[in-house]
Amino acid sequence: MKKFDVVIIGGGPAGMAAALGAREQGASVALLERDDRLGGILNQCIHNGFGLHYFGEELTGPEYAKRFRDKVLADKGITVFLEAMVLSLTEDRVVRAISPTAGLMELHAGAIVLAMGCRERSAGAIALAGTRPAGIYTAGMAQRLSNVEGYLVGKEVVILGSGDIGLIMARRMTSEGAKVKLVAEIMPFSSGLKRNIVQCLNDYDIPLRYSTTVTRVTGKNRLTGVYVAPVDEKMNPLLEKEEYIPCDTLLLSVGLIPENDLLTGTSVEMSRVTSGAVVDEFRQTSVPGIFSAGNVLHVHDLVDNVSEEAFVAGASAAKFSKGELALSETVSVLPSNGVRYALPQKVHQGEGKVKIYFRVDKVYRGRTVVVESGGEVVKRKKTLVMAPGEMQNVEVDKALIRGDLSIYTEE
């Protein structure tokens, strides 16, 4: 049995930033990562576009990860366990893990930070009709095969979903000589970043069709083509308008799901909207001493936000383990009228500022974001464009909080 002030599960950008945050408070830290190196999903994101906010310069994923990794590995107060997969955790903070070098391990934690990232929705999850040939991949799987293993999955590509990984892969495969024939998005808007649509599709003349889906796939051993069709307002495909596109590859970029399986059987309160835990501004869950940050909490589009959020979670976990996280009453943050979710969902009354992250439910132009507390408007922010693919935030003065916070948009 080993004891640590803070045990962090997952060694991606969230886990690494949490470790540094906890160290700043002088805590002893264990960082468990199931892969054979730190960095998480960043290790396969070899494109530019990371760190503009956090470091003020454009880095590739591996470069961004390296900045944190170097600091983590240099810190004697952080014990890193690689190839260490966490199998279970309990509410009294016992973490069980397995690794080839240490076998079964049991760690006792003063506080836990969850930083397990997310996984991609699969073809099965969307009940894709048709045959079951090779040639159908989640975009992240294809990305790993090309960027880490060095192998390209195909030459004629259709992409279902316009999530960021799919958009990035459209550009990657094009630059490797593949032809991306279509990106089909079932929604009337993209879930990806505007800048990725411009840089990865428009710059290469790759067509993006909204309100369109793949209705079935063909081919016995290898994919030979897909049928696509427009959908009505209820997302039902209009099969009479079905069109066949020959291709050998279908990439799916149809959503990311926070990897919270470890919480099954605990009483940690979960949000149905984010599929992550319900947290306060310190990223503490409903179970005291269990914190959550990064993509396991809610899917982020920018790693910079992940690092910022996780640093706070790590520092707060360290304070909790020392009994120094003194907390006052909480109020709830309630989204409505165009705001799909807001995070944190709970805020403590007191001093300082709190940054509320939120996503809208469709594309809005020229709207104002309003935050109210106890019937009083505490914040108003004019925006030009808000899209579901881009996380927004507003900052609120805690001293103004008089009751539950409601956050909404208005014309």
Partner 1 sequence: MEKFDVIVIGGGVVGTAVLRSLAAYKAKTLLLEKASDVATGASRANSGIVHAGYDAETGTKKALFNVKGAAMFPSLTAELHVPYQKTGSLVAAREGGLPALQALYERGVANGVKVEVIDRKRILELEPNISPEIAYALYAPEAGVVSPYKLTIAQADHAVINGAEIRLEEKVVSLEKTADGFAVRTEKGEYFASYVINAAGAGASEVNALIGEDAPTETHAVGDYYILDSKEAGVVNTVVFPLPDEKGKGILVAPTADGNVILGPTSRKVPHEVAEENEVTREGLALVREGVGRLIPCVNLRSVIRVYAGTRTAVGSDFIIEESKKVKNYFMLLGICSPGLTSAPAIGEYVAGVAAEALGLIKKEKMRPLPARFHLTKATEEEIEDKIASDSAYGRIVCRCEKVTEGEILEAIRSPLPAHTVDAVKRRVRAGMGRCQGGFCRPRVMEILSRELNIPLSKIRLGDKGSEIAPYEVKDGYEKV
Ligand X SMILES: Cc1cc2nc3c(=O)[nH]c(=O)nc-3n(C[C@H](O)[C@H](O)[C@H](O)COP(=O)(O)OP(=O)(O)OC[C@H]3O[C@@H](n4cnc5c(N)ncnc54)[C@H](O)[C@@H]3O)c2cc1C
274 binds partner 1 (CB under 8 A): no
271 binds partner 1 (CB under 8 A): no
**Dist CA 16 CA 345 (whole Å):** 24
Q: What is the DSSP letter of 177?
A: T
314 binds ligand X (CB under 6 A): no
Which H/E stretch holds residue 308?
helix 303-321
Residue whose CB is less far from partner 1, 105 or 339: 105
Using CB under 8 A as the binding criterion, the count of chain residues that bind partner 1 stands at 56
129 binds partner 1 (CB under 8 A): yes
304 binds ligand X (CB under 6 A): yes
Out of partner 1, ligand X, none, what residue 12 binds, judged by CB under 5 to 8 A for its kind, is: ligand X
Residue from 298, 300, 348, 359 in contact with ligand X (CB under 6 A): 300
Out of ligand X, partner 1, none, what residue 117 binds, judged by CB under 5 to 8 A for its kind, is: ligand X
Convert 242-267 to b/e letters by CB count within 10 Å (16 or more is b): eeeeebbbbbbbbbbbbbbebbeebe
410 binds partner 1 (CB under 8 A): no
Cis link prior to 335 (omega < 30° from 0)? no
Closest residue by Cα to residue 48 from 152, 195, 256, 253: 195
Residue whose CB is less far from partner 1, 236 or 368: 236
Residue whose CB is less far from ligand X, 262 or 378: 262
DSSP state letters, 211-255? SEEEEEEE-SSB--EEEEEEB-TTS-B-GGG-EEEE-SEEEE---
Out of partner 1, ligand X, none, what residue 125 binds, judged by CB under 5 to 8 A for its kind, is: partner 1
352 binds partner 1 (CB under 8 A): no
**Dist CA 86 CA 79 (whole Å):** 15
Residue whose CB is less far from ligand X, 9 or 277: 9
Residues 164-223 that bind ligand X (CB under 6 A): 164-165, 168
Closest residue by Cα to residue 295 from 169, 167, 391: 391
128 binds partner 1 (CB under 8 A): yes
Using alpha carbons only, what angle is made at residue 300 by residues 294 and 301, rounded to the nearest 5 degrees?
140
Q: What is the 3-state secondary structure (H, E, C) of 268-285?
A: CCECCCCCCECCCCCCEC
Q: How far is the CB of 179 from ligand X (least distance, A)?
A: 21
Partners of residue 395 on adjacent β-strands: 355
Residue whose CB is less far from partner 1, 78 or 116: 116
Residue whose CB is less far from ligand X, 168 or 228: 168
150 binds partner 1 (CB under 8 A): yes
